[in-house]
Chain A
């Protein structure tokens, strides 16, 4: 979190020096922001653009958490409270935007196709943030446990070299994949809840 805030502060300070034709650092920042913006706009739609900074934060935070595991730091997402907080925020957005944009039809959807299905529909809605949080938590934790076990159970002479492969697999590949999955599923949940045409 501190690293991301520091990066944001650096970007804010260097923004005055940004050029018309981006190079180096400016290019990387612009590419990241533009790629995420396009991705979020395609998935959620431009009318929800006020939510993009939140999901940009989620994306950057989860990805950087996984990448910081490479240097031996424990990923914050290996703690369920972190993933649960992010998933809970998604649930809150989903619920309030559903009511805001669909009003009665969103609440009626809990009673469809028959009022008897209300408990199941309610459970289904409540299960979404739980599944979202546990998916990320489980994946990151499994990678953390495997790496911790590797470091704990292997002799020192094999702890230099082979773990790079494991870090690349669990932290970079799985980390990137789980980040993408968490964000796109969150966006889809919100879109399904808020978009009456879905």
Chain B
């Protein structure tokens, strides 16, 4: 057991280095093997993986370009809408100002119309008052004529004869008709 534990492997005797035809043949074989390996690795691993990564990079770049274009478009739209909003604000002010002016104009017209109407009403009222006054004056005049006739009739009946009485009454009536009642 102890011998087995402390025993060692035998060092293998081998060819390490020599410059002879075997070395040259070995180099040629290794070169061919290396070429086969290079072609194999290049065809199956290196180039396909590089190609895959290149295509992926191009795809991602295209997507990034697309995203940049979309962002630029969105920014231009935002700018456009901002401008529109600003112009809407300006337009709102203009519309309000126009409405205010229109309202003021309309208000002036309404007031003028109202004044005219009031004037018309006042004139009509004045005309009605004047007509009423004329009517009252006429009625008063007729009443006074009637009253004066009665009074004159009674006075005359007591003091003068029928002929003088008639003459006086006609004279009084003529005077009353000529009189001004204002």
Write the nearest CB–CB distance from A79 to chain B, whole angstroms: 7
A141-173: CB near B (< 8 Å → 1, else 0) gives 100000011011111110000000000000000
Contact A5/B40 with A11-B49, A57-B34, A89-B31 known, Cβ cut-off 8 Å: yes
Q: Does A71 contact B (CB under 8 A)?
A: no
Between-chain CB contacts (< 8 Å), 12 pairs = A30-B49, A54-B42, A61-B37, A76-B30, A84-B23, A85-B28, A86-B34, A89-B34, A141-B16, A152-B11, A156-B7, A157-B5
Pick the contact of B23 from A8, A37, A80 — CB < 8 Å?
A: A80
Interface size class of A (residues with CB under 8 A): 35 or more
Chain B residues near A148: list those with CB within 8 A.
Answer: 11-12
Q: Which of B9, B34, B52, B59 contacts A15 (CB 8 A)?
A: B52
Check B38 for interface membership: any CB of A closer than 8 A.
yes
B46 neighbours in A (Cβ, 8 Å):
33, 52-53, 56
- B40 A8 Cβ-Cβ under 8 A: yes
Smallest Cβ-Cβ distance to A18: which chain B residue: B52
Q: Which B residues lie within 8 Å of A56 (CB)?
A: 38, 41-42, 46
**Looking at B27, B31, B45, which has the most chain A CB atoms within 10 Å of its CB?**
B45
Nearest CB on A from B5, distance (A): 6
- How distant is B87 from chain A, measured CB to nearest CB, in Å? 45
Q: Answer whether residue B10 sits at the interface, using C-beta atoms and an 8 A cutoff.
A: yes
When distances are taken between beta carbons in the complex, the residues of chain A under 8 Å from B179 are: none
Give the distance in Å from the alpha carbon of A153 to the alpha carbon of B6 in the complex.
10
Name A's B-contacting residues (CB within 8 A): 1, 4-5, 7-9, 11-12, 15, 18, 20, 29-30, 33-34, 37, 52-54, 56-58, 60-61, 76, 79-82, 84-86, 88-89, 137, 141, 148-149, 151-157
Provide the B13-50 mask, 1 if CB < 8 A to any CB of A, else 0.
00011000001001111110110111111111111111
B174 CB–A CB distance under 8 Å: no
User: Which B residues are in CB contact (< 8 Å) with A85?
Assistant: 26-28, 30-31, 33-34
